[in-house]
Amino acid sequence: MLILGLTGGIGMGKTTVAAMLRGQGARIFDADAVVHELQAPGGRALPAISRLVPGSVRDGKLQRSVLRQAVIADPALFRKLEGIIHPMVHDECIAFLRAARRAGCALAVLDIPLLYEAGMDRLCDRVLAVSAPVGVQRRRVLARGRMDRMQVNAIIARQMKDPQRRRRADHVIRTGLSRRQAWRQVRALVASLRNARTRSMT
């Protein structure tokens, strides 16, 4: 089984690329979905988050706006939150990989925005970075209507810079042009990975 790490900053088009990879037969580990589950009512992460940021959990529910504002006001909180969430995501990822191997999966994709920051690139055979121009990135995030410009800029500032991510990755897919061009890049990548796997087995 080949393990492909998939990473990219907010608004880079990573979710779209993950869907394209799923369409090519890959099995996807969605770290964002896991984090959402950990932070959902009754989620494993809520007690620790509540202790770290008082008032961020009310009536058993995470108050995302409270947590977001606390992190913007005190950037050091973000690292502490990572210390809560990352080990839990790692455990879920290991369980996913074990299940994928048992199922005879050929290509497992670890869709993890903070792949490098969490050190989870060590689990991967290859890493794919999804990239787009910063102007496109900001427009995409603002178009979702959930954050203002200041919040978007704060998130981008916290994340690894796109050029650094591209330098570290084995493969790069650029989503700043058209969906069709991104799709062509994904198909070409999957074909090359399959060919490389076939050659390694002969």
The answer to the question of whether 13 is labelled as a binding residue is: yes
Length of the chain measured in residues: 202
Based on its alpha-carbon atoms, the radius of gyration of the chain, rounded to whole angstroms, reads 18
Joined tokens for residue 30: 């969605």
16 is in an annotated binding site: yes
CA–CA dist 88, 170 (Å, integer): 26
45 near 92, Cβ under 8 Å? no
**Cβ neighbours, 10 Å, residue 135:** 9
Q: Is 202 known as a binding-site position? A: no
Give me 121's structure tokens.
């690139």
Binding residues for ATP: 11-16
Residue ranges for the known binding site are 11-16
